[in-house]
A and B are shown apart, each in its own frame.
Chain A
């Protein structure tokens, strides 16, 4: 029996889409949830902070999207293995905590030679980590070749209130009950004008807008 062309065409269309659907099932399947505010208790130990910091690095902080741990060769961004030790001596006059904080709040203040200045400040949207979450990330980074020392009370130049170039404040939790609202952090008016050169230009503009609003807020008080 000769199969009509129309049936063959239909079978071909279904088989082709079926094949591509099959290919889609063969790749790793990961559902990425929207990041949630991490619950951080006041009495949290450094060990707890390390655990949470690692989770943030893999999830909300999207650190491991670009950075590797324990890889060598043609890397696009610096490998993080040994960062806990390297951070102590990377920049003269900066402790490991200060250096790591600078890398997270103001990533282009120091760029590892041979790598592009492409890291965005993690305390601003779209990543938007809080000061405390960043302390947890610092604790987790310290474990990579070193020993974690930070606690939730640890102060560095970006959360102590001292003026620092490019330091932007932490985002506040979104107001409850608002289902659709601009994800703009509540700003503490401590920031300077500097916009990191390595950011995407759009990110830089948004950051500049945040800074301008922070200054307005300062004037209003």
Chain B
């Protein structure tokens, strides 16, 4: 009886929700239309005295009115910029996820194929389940963004279309292939020869990346225009595509998407782990979370280097743009970024250290953790120290300026570059410790190998710190160049130490097994925290990339003449980012739920199961009594 009432109530609620939704849509459209008409009326010249002649005049004017393309329209309540901003951000977050998941699903499937371990195949399939719903949402938000651009910024959108019209057809064709590969990859799981299926996965990745490259051309052109005259006329479409920031953004986004996708997939695994009611599922989702997080952090480590390249290209295009980013209106944004990245490093390391507990024989390595923690905390503190601080007049007088006499030295790039490089190196060492947990190297040169690894680590750490300190005593022209050897030495250390480690632990003896699923529950919340932080970071960096243009639609060429042609406060920007992130997680929760429907028993089977267990009796009787 109760079940029947519940179902009827659900149906009723569904109908009501649909009606409310339709009414809401109708009212929104009507409000927008009235808003535009009111704006047009306000902009029109004042009529003559007398209501009737005025109306007649208006009617005559309307009859003869020529077509005029408006430059801007206003979105009610929040304004056009915030509306476009939120929709674009949501589109980008889903697009990043949709591009990232196939990359590691393909890699995981390939590992499964090579090793013959079916766990990898199951894992890759589980990742892919999240894909189809996300793909639809990405396309929906993409269409939404396009319509919003056409409606709110018609003239500027028209200009962009005129520049990039030759890229549209390839984009649509690639999108069609994307859909083909995605659905055959998902629905064809286990239906084709493994190599054919892997080929579909490869095709999906190639096409997805190509789509992103095309879309990146449009947005990077706005920041670093190329291939046009000073008045905006197109000289070369290829040059417009191949602008200064195009390739750095392409590379940065591929890496960042993998990191982001990995973190969201790890959050999905955490969500499923927390819902699991048996050890087998817990073991599977613990493993899935670990792999997702491993992918995320592995991609995250080289990301600052891609960021360097992007920043370098921004400076190469325009010193003014670069200085606005690092020293002007956006300089404090990088302090917020430091807090986020610091949190990511701390959380990632914490998760790894918690994960050591699931490996038997991990104790000897756990003693090193406190030193790593000290190193990470120190780097975090240095990185988050601003050059100038907010202070009262008396405090500024006491300090002799807006910089603290001692801590101010930590606010400059020499200190920050050093901190971030050491942070990366420390997190890499954390990974390395985790990797060798429960293993003992058995090769004859094991001692020498360990010593070589330690020597490389120590030498590079000292070298990076030395260059950081040296930067305080040299001229600006020399100091700027010091970041390159810092970055290269850290990259060298990571590659060299990993290479040694691979050979060192080949045929290693095991001191203990990995007990998947045996990890404190808090670790799963850490994975969710990492995913939220990654998402928020993407929102923030998306804002700086776009906001950097300030009052320009196309930097230095087409000026923004709208009411939104100003750069909002960072406080406002962070509020918009937060709302968008919350919306994204609400929607990704929906994706998780829809994906989980796949594993549910069929409706009929569910009823039979209930009936068998005696649960269904009430329902059946209830249904019967309802009919009588």
Contacts and interface: CB of A to CB of B under 8 A. Distances in A.
A73 to B, nearest CB: 8
A120 B566 contact: no
Given A27-B332, A182-B232, A12 B578 contact: no
Nearest to B552: A126
Contacts of A29: 569-571
Contact of B574 (A20, A77, A201): A20
B486 interface: no
Given A120-B318, A174-B559, A202-B225, A9 B550 contact: no
A114 to B, nearest CB: 4
B306 interface: no
Given A9-B271, A65-B327, A202-B226, A20 B336 contact: yes
Given A126-B556, A202-B225, A12 B528 contact: yes
Nearest to B568: A31
A71 B401 contact: yes
Contacts of A28: 332, 390, 570
A23 B341 CA distance: 13
Interface in A168-221: 174, 178-184, 198-203, 205-206, 209-210, 213
B567 to A, nearest CB: 4
Interface in B220-262: 224-226, 229-232, 243-244
A30 B388 CA distance: 15
Contacts of A13: 528, 532, 582, 585
B321 to A, nearest CB: 7
A35 B551 contact: yes
Given A24-B575, A27-B332, A29-B569, A62 B557 contact: no
A192 B525 CA distance: 64
A184 B231 contact: yes
Contacts of B567: 31-32
B446 interface: no
A38 to B, nearest CB: 16
Contacts of B81: none
A160 interface: no
A154 interface: no
Contacts of A209: 229-230
Nearest to B554: A182
B274 A9 contact: yes
Interface in B458-513: 471-473, 475-477, 479-480
Q: Majority SS of interface residues in chain B?
A: helix
B596 interface: no
Contacts of B476: 74-77, 114-116
B390 A206 contact: no
B356 to A, nearest CB: 23
Contacts of B532: 12-13, 16-17
Interface string A59-97: 000100110000100111100000000000000000000
A181 B558 contact: yes
A127 interface: yes
Interface string A1-34: 0000100110011101110110111011111111
A74 B471 contact: yes
Contacts of B553: 180
Contact of B322 (A35, A182, A200, A206): A200
B581 interface: yes
Interface string A113-135: 01110111000011100000000
A217 B472 CA distance: 50
Contact of B479 (A74, A198, A199): A74
B336 A23 contact: yes
B582 A17 contact: yes
Contacts of A31: 566-569, 572
A198 B323 CA distance: 14
B144 interface: no
A20 B557 contact: no
Given A62-B323, A200-B317, A210-B230, A9 B528 contact: yes
B569 A119 contact: no
B128 interface: no
B39 interface: no
Q: What size tier do the contact residues of chain B reach? A: 35 or more
B320 A201 contact: no
Contacts of B569: 29-31
A110 B480 CA distance: 20
Nearest to B558: A182
B318 A200 contact: yes
Nearest to B340: A20
B536 interface: yes
A25 B575 CA distance: 9
A125 B557 contact: yes
Given A9-B271, A12-B528, A18-B578, A181 B559 contact: yes
A81 to B, nearest CB: 12
A106 B108 CA distance: 56
B607 interface: no
Contacts of B572: 31
Given A12-B532, A16-B529, A125-B556, A34 B324 contact: no
Contacts of A184: 230-231, 557
B571 A126 contact: no
A205 B225 CA distance: 10
B155 A180 contact: yes
A200 B556 CA distance: 12
Given A62-B323, A114-B475, A115-B476, A34 B565 contact: yes
Given A32-B566, A35-B551, A180 B275 contact: no
A32 B225 contact: no
A205 B336 contact: no
Given A115-B475, A116-B477, A202 B244 contact: yes
A117 to B, nearest CB: 9
Given A71-B401, A74-B479, A183 B571 contact: no
Q: Which of B156, B316, B324, B532 has the most CB of A within 10 A?
A: B532
A178 B559 CA distance: 11
B228 to A, nearest CB: 8
A25 B561 CA distance: 28
Nearest to A179: B71
A217 to B, nearest CB: 12
A62 B330 CA distance: 13
B319 interface: yes
Q: Which of A24, A75, A198, A199 has the most CB of B within 10 A?
A: A24
A37 to B, nearest CB: 12
Contact of A21 (B333, B525, B575): B575
Contact of A126 (B229, B318, B336): B318
Nearest to B479: A74
Given A13-B528, A200-B316, A34 B271 contact: no
25 contacts: A5-B271, A17-B536, A20-B533, A20-B574, A23-B574, A24-B571, A24-B577, A27-B336, A27-B386, A27-B570, A62-B323, A66-B323, A74-B472, A76-B479, A115-B476, A118-B323, A120-B320, A126-B318, A126-B552, A180-B72, A180-B559, A181-B559, A182-B230, A182-B557, A206-B557
Interface of A: 5, 8-9, 12-14, 16-18, 20-21, 23-25, 27-35, 62, 65-66, 71, 74-77, 114-116, 118-120, 125-127, 174, 178-184, 198-203, 205-206, 209-210, 213
Given A119-B319, A126-B320, 17 more contacts: A14-B582, A16-B529, A27-B335, A33-B566, A34-B566, A62-B323, A62-B324, A76-B479, A114-B477, A116-B480, A126-B321, A178-B561, A179-B72, A183-B556, A198-B319, A200-B316, A200-B320
